[in-house]
Amino acid sequence: MKEIVVISGKGGTGKTSITASFAMLGGSDVVVADCDVDAADMHLLMQPDFNFAEDFYSGEVAYVDQSNCISCGKCRDVCRFDGISAKNNRYVVDPISCEGCGYCARVCPTKTIINKKRLAGKWFISKIKTGSIMVHARLGIGADNSGKLVAKVKNEAKEIALEEHKGFILVDGSPGIGCPVVSSLSGANFVVLVTEPSVSGLHDLKRVYELVKKFNIKAGCIINKADVNPAKCAEIVAFLTENDIVHLTDLPYDENFTRAMVLGQTMVEYDHGKLKELLAESWEKVKRLGSGTY
């Protein structure tokens, strides 16, 4: 079982559309993991049945049980996050500000503060239209540390892939360079970087590649909307060569990306011309590179 992760540094590069096309091409041999939990969109193209759903708890939030509170104010004084305020001598926690550090509960003389588990989101296992399975999630509003939810989604996908003897896990990775993308990348056999030829595209590509290098994972790159800025595109290609990143393909600026999305379809279902051909070729390369047989 091989693990392929698609990331882009920043959103809007077409990462999810490309990942969904790969999932379609891979069919029943590919378990999909949508690790872009902060803005999970893959399900809009995959017709998931939400067969299994479970709440996900991470971290804590303080709660003042009023019955034993003697209004001493100690909890408010120690909190560094303005998490506790007093109205008419009634001490209450603002769950949005509370970081769940637990300090207030430790100093409360009457032990009347409890730390409750924080509901951080929901995760799902679904049958999808590719004939395979997708693990996906939804992060709760204002939740901290989506990295843990990302890790959960990935591990579940991995277990399913092993149990059902699937060839690949395909991960739609998280944006940014923080903890969630680190969780997305750990254990990957191959990384597909999706970028676009713009000043910010190149800038984000370089930053996210720093991270990929640390993990020592082989990487390939797809330049989307390549024809929008040929000069920038050439700069990106130079960067790829310099860093020994496989240049998988260039995709043209094509509004079919959006037209397919509006119909809830992947590119390879909607388009039967050049775009489909380029994506299919790329997927074949990715599979071989991911299996180390290039």
Shortest distance, CB of residue 256 to ligand SF4, whole angstroms? 49
State which of residues 6, 69, 74, 100 lies at the interface with another protein (CB under 8 A). 100
State which of residues 92, 119, 177, 217 lies at the interface with another protein (CB under 8 A). 177
Classify residue 58 by burial, with Cβ atoms within 10 Å: 0-12, 13-18, 19+: buried
Classify residue 32 by burial, with Cβ atoms within 10 Å: 0-12, 13-18, 19+: buried
- Please calculate the CA angle 31-225-277 and round it to the nearest 5 degrees: 55
Per-position x/- string for 8-47, each x denoting binding to ligand SF4 as judged by CB under 6 A, each - no binding: ----------------------------------------
Shortest distance, CB of residue 147 to another protein, whole angstroms? 8
Shortest distance, CB of residue 45 to another protein, whole angstroms? 8
Contact, 182 vs 214, CB < 8 A?
Answer: no
Which CB atom, from 89 or from 141, has the smaller least distance to another protein?
Answer: 141
Shortest distance, CB of residue 252 to ligand SF4, whole angstroms? 49
- The closest of 123, 125, 2, 140 to 59, measured between CA atoms, is 140
Q: Is 250 in the site for another protein (CB under 8 A)?
A: no
| Lookup result for tokens 């959960």 | 152
Binder of residue 69, out of another protein, ligand SF4, none (CB less than 5 to 8 A by kind):
ligand SF4
Binder of residue 229, out of another protein, ligand SF4, none (CB less than 5 to 8 A by kind):
another protein
| Coil vs helix vs strand at 286 | helix
| Coil vs helix vs strand at 148 | helix
Distance between CA atoms of 6 and 286, rounded to whole angstroms?
Answer: 11
Helix axes 230-242, 199-215, angle to 10 degrees: 10
Per-position x/- string for 224-263, each x denoting binding to ligand SF4 as judged by CB under 6 A, each - no binding: ----------------------------------------
State which of residues 184, 195, 198, 266 lies at the interface with another protein (CB under 8 A). 198
Contact, 163 vs 47, CB < 8 A?
Answer: no
Distance between CA atoms of 15 and 34, rounded to whole angstroms?
Answer: 11
| Lookup result for tokens 């489909």 | 276
Which CB atom, from 176 or from 290, has the smaller least distance to another protein?
Answer: 176
Which two three-digit tokens encode residue 287?
């599979």
Binder of residue 119, out of ligand SF4, another protein, none (CB less than 5 to 8 A by kind):
none
Q: What is the DSSP letter of 11?
A: S
Q: What is the DSSP letter of 140?
A: P
State which of residues 34, 156, 196, 271 lies at the interface with another protein (CB under 8 A). 196
Binder of residue 64, out of another protein, ligand SF4, none (CB less than 5 to 8 A by kind):
ligand SF4
Phi/psi for 124 (5° steps) reads -135, 150
How many amino acids of this chain bind another protein (CB under 8 A)? 56
Binding site for another protein (CB under 8 A): 9-13, 16, 36, 38-39, 41, 44, 59-60, 78, 80-81, 96, 99-103, 106-107, 139, 141-144, 146, 175-179, 196-201, 203-204, 207, 210-211, 225, 228-229, 232, 253, 255, 258, 261-262, 264
